[in-house]
Every structure is written in C-alpha cells, then in structure tokens.
Structure 1
C-alpha cells in the first residue's frame, strides 16, 4: 500500500521536521552516514531543548545514539521525503522540501542558524574526527563506545587535522588533543 503524500506534513513528528530541516540547510548537502547523522542530531538536541526532549539520546557503540531519530529517518525514507544512498548518505527529496515548507514555524531563525552551523561543522570532519570531538566534549557518552580507545590513540593527529580545516580554534584543538596550547603549538611545528 502506497502512502498518500497529500497531507503528510500534518502527520510529521517534530523530530521528522528537524531531520528534514537538517537535510535542507547548506544547499541540501547530503548528510554523510550514520555517525554524522546521529552526531548532528545530538549537537542540535543539545542546543534546542525541544529536540532534546524528542530525540532521547543515550550512550551507544559510537557515542550518542537516538533510536527514535533513526526510526524517524527510516520513516522519511519510506515516505520518499528522504533518499538514502548505498553508503548511508541521506538527501532530502523534492517532496521532502515541499512538505518541510508546510512546517516552517517549528524553529526560530536562531535555531535554524544553529542547525546550519552544526551541519557545516560535522560535514567538514571524518567519522574519526567527529567521534574525537564528541568523546572529548561529552565524556558521559563514551561509556558504551567500542571505538573510544582507538580514537583516543590518534587524538593528537586528528585534532591537528580538525584545526587545519579551520573548524576549531587553537584552544579547542589543544583541548581535543588533551594537551595544553603550548604543547599543541610545539606538535604543530614538528
């Protein structure tokens, strides 16, 4: 049975609208995989209280995880509002854009700008760099991680990479590396 898209916007959950908003911003640039998706949603939920209430993040194998966010994404894919690539990239469809247009009152302009910023930040990072940022910034979400030890072994290298991409300050990069700024500068010179 095919789902009718006539009044689908009325039935979209606020979390589904959040996902569509995430996929639409930054010129509809796709979200590149499950790690990026979960962590973008996590950062959004930490900034926008109402998303935090809907998403219910908990520690998981690869940091913060929201089962309801994953289910919402799968539902959006099944309704043809989101296209899922073979490599788990997610892209909003023209139907998704149309339906999102009917739900534009959910977020303030400040909240929409934050969603843009989080997507831009995460899209510039590799999965390992995303996990380093999350593990260093939110240590409570490392307790179930299967990658924590591996990520921490390469934290200096990955923090240098993040810094060179220009997405964090020198102070933030040193924090991610787990060393002071002077030591980080010395490592950069080597």
Structure 2
C-alpha cells in the first residue's frame, strides 16, 4: 500500500513518526538489524514518556520487545516510507523524509537530540554488546531471554570492547562487566 502526500498526516501514528525520526537522525544512517531497532526504540521509550505510552515493551527472547513497534515498521515499509535491505537493515526513503517533514512538531529539540544520541550509541555496538548493555541496565527484561547466559559469559570481554569504543565511561563498563573498576583496568591491560 503506497500513500499519497494528500493523506499522509492521517495515516501516520505517533509511533510511526518516532520510527521515521529515528531513521532520519545522524544523516539518515540505517538501523542495522532487528536487535538494534528494538533496543533503540526501547531506549527512546525510556527517555521520552510519550513514546513509552505507545511502545508497550515486554520481556522477550532477546530482551525488551515491542510488537507494536515491529508492526509499525512493517507498515512504514509497505507504505514505501522505509526500505528494508538485506539483513534487516532499515533505511528511510525520500518519501519517508517528505512525510516526516509534514509532522516535525512531535518532539522537542532535546528529545530529537536524545534520539540521535541513542542511535549513535547503538550503531557503534555489536548485537551482543547491545544485549549486554540492555540486560545489565534493565534486568527485569531478561526473564524470557534465550541469550542471557551466553551474554553473561562474555560480559567482561564485551564490556572492555564497549569501553574501548568510547561509548561508555570506565565506571559504566565496570558495571556492565559486573566487576570493580580496578579489576576491569587490569583485565583491559592484559
């Protein structure tokens, strides 16, 4: 189903606008994979209260999951506002940019900056690093996870990797690793 610009404003839910906003951020850098998409939306929903009302995250096989976010993404793809490339990489289309431009007043500049920051943060991480960050920071969402034990087995290595990428502080890396800062520093140098 393709939509025309005549009725686009009626057809886009606030959640769809949020997804388009996410995809447009950081010079339209694609979102690489379902894990990255779901966890970016989760971080956004935890920061922006109105997004939290729309997303309905629940514990799932890979941590927090929002079925309505996935359905909204599929709808945006069917409307040709988002393109799904190989490997579940999501990219906003020119039509998506045009549609978003019609609905720019949903987020404050501070909220837009936060969305851009979450996207940049997640885009620098592997799926396992994303899951470690989410699992350590939001343990309530691990109860259904099929990867929790595997992620926890490699948490120190992945925490060091995240820290070396410069996206978390030493203190946060130690928290993610489940060890104290001194031990993390010793392991990092080894």
TM-score, normalization by structure 1: 0.98
- Aligned counterparts of 2:189 and 2:147: Cα–Cα separation in 1: 29
Query: In structure 2, what is the equivalent of residue 175 of structure 1?
Result: 175
What corresponds to 1:93 in structure 2? 93
Distance 2:182 2:125 in 1: 24
RMSD between superposed Cα atoms in Å: 0.9
User: Matches of 2:168 and 2:4 in 1, distance apart?
Assistant: 44
1:35-88 superposed Cα distances (whole Å, 9 cap, x missing partner): 000000000000000000000000000010000000000000000000001210
- List runs of 5+ in structure 2 lacking aligned partners: none
Pairing 1:111-130 to 2, within 5 Å after superposition = 111-130=111-130
The aligned counterpart of 2:147 is 147
Q: 1:186: which partner in 2?
A: 186
Q: Give the Cα–Cα distance (whole angstroms) in 2 for the partners of residues 68 and 2 of structure 1.
A: 20
| Cα separation, partners in 2 of 1:138 and 1:77, compared to 1, 3 Å | same
Is 1:60 aligned with 2:60? yes
- 1:163 equivalent in alignment to 2:168: no
Q: Which runs of 4+ in 1 moved over 6 A?
A: none
How many residue pairs match? The answer is 190
| 1:105-158 CA distance string (max 9 Å, x none) | 000000000000000000000000000000000000000000000000000000
The alpha carbon displacement at 1:10 in A equals: 2.6
Distance 2:182 2:68 in 1: 43
- The residue that corresponds to 1:81 in the other structure is 81
Residue 102 of structure 2 corresponds to: 102
CA separation of 1:2 and 1:22: change in aligned 2, threshold 3 A: closer
Contact 2:162 2:173 in 1 (8 A): yes
Distance 1:73 1:3 in 2: 15
